[in-house]
Structure 1
Amino acid sequence: MSQQSDRMSGTTGTLPTRVPAGYALGSLATGAFGTVPGLLLLPYLTDTLGIAAALAGVLVLAPKAWDVLLNPVVGRISDRAGTRRPFLLAGGLALAVLFAAIFAGPFRSGVPAALYVAFAFLTTATAFAFFQVPYVAMPAELTDSYTERTRLMTWRVAVLAVAILVSGALAPVIVNASGDGIAGHRWMGLFVAAVIAVGVLGVYVGTARAPLSVEGGSEPSLRAQLRVAASNDAFRGLLVCFVVQAAGIATMLAGVQYFATHVLKDEETGPTVLFACFVGPALLVMPLWKRVGQRSGKLRGYRISSSMFAAGAAVLLAAPVVPAVVVYLVTAVIGVGYAGQQVFGLAMLPDCIAYDAARTGRRQAGVFTGVWTAGETLGLALGPGVYAVVLAVFGYVSSTSGTVAQSSSARLGVLLGFTVLPAVLVAGALVFLRGYDLTPEKLSEVQS
């Protein structure tokens, strides 16, 4: 077969609304799993199970680091299967069940509790890989249009914002309303599992008639596919930037509960209000970021939104001496930047995949997204781990009986980990985009 006929070919026209809407529902699952463990797992380990901060950081990092090895393999499997949707259903439903198991709490403290959480988190991360990797691969196969990929990601990030708001804002409320401790976390786990299940069933049904196209052979081995992915300069730079920024975002996410408790002095409502301020504006600015992408390009939009996030995080260093309302307003600015980061980063990924498909004539979107999600997972896992290290260095005291008074040094660690560290990571990562050059003209030229 010729290279032109053998490569992936999707629609170049406007997708019917049911396609981006149905596809976006999967972000209920990715958003919930990407948010709640980063928000509550570390405090659950340190302040409910009484596990030392350093060890808790390892427990949060190690199971998800497993996905760094697993995700490219899952991508290879889904490429060779020639279809993505069955993986969404099987992996997604397993994810829902196993997520609830993480917070089931059969052991109340000590080594048994630590080992149980580590094992439960490992199996949940495995199920997530079989859902997430095929899910992220689908946009490159839904359309060949540069602008339609941005539209797809606008829908997806809008639903992602809803998922973060619903799961991230309500999860702490459910824990507190259900008696806190292990019992409260059990009910929270069941609630988030239900959100995940709704997203899984929604994307599976919603993409049933989507114009997916996965024709074309793949490279003969996983090693060969990884070598091709590594040779794609635009993809490599975008990946490293996104991973570093994911670590910065996850560091801030891991610090929400600590920041609200020890800086804002509002343990009960602070985390929920912070999340509402972070995510709520994102639902309103999606049309704005879409217009920015159309007028200025995805790369410039990515840089603008990342700079907005970093600047807002740095400003929050003044949180101890300004009114809470100022903190919440700045958090909203950070949320606007975060929304843009997600839209443009995720819209640039299928451009990289389409460029590779047109250049090589091979079907390997799964491996590209496997590498991508592996990196993103590593970044999201590193965030809580790094934050735990900061807490340990500054002398944070763990407890089995809830929040305890902390030293001024520990409170400083809570503040720096939530503000300066994310700002540095998100802004500094932009240096890796210097070589990104996938313009609409270049993509059109290689696809013609």
Structure 2
Amino acid sequence: MNNSADDRSFLSEKLSFPTKLAYGAGDLGPAITANITGVFLLIFFTNVAGLKPGIAGSILMIGKIWDAINDPIIGMWSDRTQSRWGRRHPWMIFGAIPFGIFFFLQWLVPQFSGNPEINQWALFLYYVAIGLFFNSFYTAVNLPYTAMTAELTQDYDERTSLSSYRFAFSISGSILSLILALLIFQAFKQNPIQQYLVLGGVCAVISVLPLYWCVWGTRKRVQALERQRRALPVETPLPYLEQLKIAFSNRPFLYVIGIYLCSWLAVQNTVAVIPYFVKNWMGLGDSDFTQVIIAVQVTALVMLFVWSAMSKRYGKKAVYFMGMTVWTIAQIGLFLLQPGQIILMYGLAVLAGFGVSTAYLIPWSMIPDVIELDELQTGQRREGVFYGFMVLLQKVALAIGLFIVGWVLQKSGFTESVAGQPAPIQPESALWAIRILVGPAPLVVLVIGLVLAYFYPITKEKHAEILLQLHERKQNQT
């Protein structure tokens, strides 16, 4: 039997448990860094580095916008990468260490001037520069990794299973990062600057290593895919604007983008506001808001496998509706929550975890189906392009959302604090703004996401038809 036949036989097999495990591990590092950044960076800027909320929100917005801009660029570059290691692995191999270094540098608080105003703007420039580098290397390792989902298997249910492994590691990474934060904050509770410095260093190290596990564990399948891809006729890459036109003329892709944007805008903005909500509205401490987020993430992790099993029986769309319905109840409850209702607060966090789990699982398991529809229509596979544009729009929306959170807090009269000084008492206007940002604001986008999911057109049966037509075409080419 020749190598080509061997590769086809190997690739037709179900993914092994070690391969799924290794693939899932690739999202551990990005999840840890994204979670620590999403939960703590805004409050680190305002409460430790002493930046004004508007300036802090602007730093996050600039970083996210750059992160969005570089996504489709790196996506296309990874599509065109020629290597015996495949198209995606070289990015992960060479990007992992700089990714960890620049994540750590975000948590320094350099003193540039004794003049508070000059130091404020010098810190602004420092954090913007570090953020640009960190987001570049984050994309360099994470976007090629996510594009591998559509390449490792073409099976409809197998992709949902693969996504469940990925997000099991992703949510576990989020939980691990929060547990580390609790332990480190307790160990260095007298020195907030040192708290974040140690947290950044520890998370940087444990974020880099799993990326190499992923490369090692998926290398055989990726190399077989690369040999098979090179045996097919060479495709002429389309110009960037032409790819943009084709991607956004794919109607199911637009629905998936919308669903994902709404889900993750709700997730990320709620995560950014929860520390302020728990500390300033509920009157609790740092460990309490970390425990609230752990409750959400643990529930999401448990439900990930429940939703994955239910998706095989009821379909992706139905599962998304179930999860989002429970989540909307939780958002309403958070807005109505009063100081002292601690048990209810944790109950609502558990309910929110039901919905957060579907936000992780369902949109990402839809994207590979969209890619196959595009391949059927155009004759080209452009995983990097579709994942790049999806993440681009997500990050633009998140950038705007974080910017709005920062400026709403500042305009509402929120008073930033400085490490080592007593926490200021916030005015009623700031407390009201925090409650709006944690409840009604995410609720609106969740409802929009439900409407878009209702109209999503690729069912399990439709996807089977697409795969059949692609199989017939490839047989004719061979």
Deviations along 1:317-375, one digit per CA (max 9) or x if unpaired, are: 12215620111011011012111221111111111112212332212111111111212
Counterpart in the other structure of 2:92: 88
Rounded Cα–Cα distance in structure 2 between residues aligned with 1:218 and 1:149 = 28
Secondary structure, aligned partner of 1:208: helix
Counterpart in the other structure of 2:109: 105
Rounded Cα–Cα distance in structure 2 between residues aligned with 1:268 and 1:161 = 21
Deviations along 1:381-439, one digit per CA (max 9) or x if unpaired, are: 33432221221232101122453211122122222211221122222222233442112
**Is 2:406 the counterpart of 1:406?**
no
Contact 1:397 1:406 in 2 (8 A): yes
Counterpart in the other structure of 1:261: 279
Q: How does 1:150-299 map to 2 (within 5 A)?
A: 150-171=160-181, 173-175=183-185, 177-178=187-188, 179-211=190-222, 213=225, 215=229, 217=235, 219-299=237-317
Give the residue type in structure 2 aligned to 1:185. Y
Distance change (3 Å), C-alpha of 1:84 and 1:68: same
Q: CA deviation at 1:186?
A: 1.1
Counterpart in the other structure of 2:38: 38
Distance change (3 Å), C-alpha of 1:344 and 1:357: same
**Is 2:75 the counterpart of 1:75?**
yes
Normalising by structure 1, we get a TM-score of: 0.93
Give the residue type in structure 2 aligned to 1:303. F
Q: 2:379 aligns with which of 352, 361, 364?
A: 361
Rounded Cα–Cα distance in structure 1 between residues aligned with 2:298 and 2:344 = 16
Give the residue type in structure 1 aligned to 2:140. F
Rounded Cα–Cα distance in structure 2 between residues aligned with 1:176 and 1:408 = 30
Distance change (3 Å), C-alpha of 1:398 and 1:320: same
Rounded Cα–Cα distance in structure 2 between residues aligned with 1:358 and 1:170 = 46
Secondary structure, aligned partner of 2:380: coil
Counterpart in the other structure of 2:5: none
Rounded Cα–Cα distance in structure 2 between residues aligned with 1:447 and 1:167 = 39
Distance change (3 Å), C-alpha of 1:150 and 1:33: same
Counterpart in the other structure of 2:405: 387
Q: CA deviation at 1:9?
A: 12
Secondary structure, aligned partner of 1:406: coil
Q: CA deviation at 1:379?
A: 3.4
Deviations along 1:93-133, one digit per CA (max 9) or x if unpaired, are: 21111100111222375211121111111110011111111
Rounded Cα–Cα distance in structure 2 between residues aligned with 1:84 and 1:34 = 21
Give the residue type in structure 2 aligned to 1:164. S
Contact 1:132 1:373 in 2 (8 A): no
Deviations along 1:191-234, one digit per CA (max 9) or x if unpaired, are: 21022113322212221223563526363222222211111110
Counterpart in the other structure of 2:116: none
Q: CA deviation at 1:182?
A: 2.2
**Is 2:134 the counterpart of 1:124?**
yes
Counterpart in the other structure of 2:465: 445
Q: 1:319 aligns with which of 319, 326, 337?
A: 337
Contact 2:372 2:466 in 1 (8 A): no
Please identify, of 374-383 and 411-420, the stretch whose mean Cα deviation from structure 2 is larger. 374-383
Counterpart in the other structure of 1:143: 153
Contact 1:48 1:181 in 2 (8 A): yes
Deviations along 1:270-312, one digit per CA (max 9) or x if unpaired, are: 1221022101122222231012201111112122212222221
Aligned length: 441
Q: CA deviation at 1:154?
A: 0.8
Rounded Cα–Cα distance in structure 1 between residues aligned with 2:432 and 2:209 = 40
Q: 2:143 aligns with which of 133, 137, 142?
A: 133
Q: 2:443 aligns with which of 414, 417, 423?
A: 423
Rounded Cα–Cα distance in structure 2 between residues aligned with 1:27 and 1:151 = 15
Deviations along 1:30-52, one digit per CA (max 9) or x if unpaired, are: 21122111111111111112211
Counterpart in the other structure of 1:3: none
Rounded Cα–Cα distance in structure 2 between residues aligned with 1:258 and 1:405 = 12
Give the residue type in structure 2 aligned to 1:144. Q
Q: Unaligned regions of 5+ residues in structure 2, if any?
A: 1-7, 113-118, 469-478
Rounded Cα–Cα distance in structure 2 between residues aligned with 1:13 and 1:355 = 22
Distance change (3 Å), C-alpha of 1:10 and 1:127: farther
Deviations along 1:119-170, one digit per CA (max 9) or x if unpaired, are: 1111100111111110110010011100000000111111111011111343
CA RMSD of aligned residues (A): 2.1
Rounded Cα–Cα distance in structure 2 between residues aligned with 1:376 and 1:424 = 17
After the TM superposition, which parts of structure 1 deviate over 6 Å for at least 4 consecutive aligned residues? Answer: none
Counterpart in the other structure of 1:5: none
Secondary structure, aligned partner of 2:337: helix
Give the residue type in structure 1 aligned to 2:193. I
Q: CA deviation at 1:263?
A: 2.1
Rounded Cα–Cα distance in structure 1 between residues aligned with 2:255 and 2:220 = 34
Counterpart in the other structure of 2:3: none
Contact 1:11 1:144 in 2 (8 A): no
Deviations along 1:11-39, one digit per CA (max 9) or x if unpaired, are: 45421111211111011122112211111
Give the residue type in structure 2 aligned to 1:151. S
Rounded Cα–Cα distance in structure 1 between residues aligned with 2:236 and 2:262 = 29
Contact 2:282 2:339 in 1 (8 A): no
Rounded Cα–Cα distance in structure 2 between residues aligned with 1:391 and 1:318 = 19
**Greater Rg over alpha carbons, structure:** 2
Rounded Cα–Cα distance in structure 2 between residues aligned with 1:47 and 1:218 = 52
Normalising by structure 2, we get a TM-score of: 0.87
Q: How does 1:45-64 map to 2 (within 5 A)?
A: 45-64=45-64
Q: CA deviation at 1:62?
A: 0.6
Contact 2:317 2:454 in 1 (8 A): no
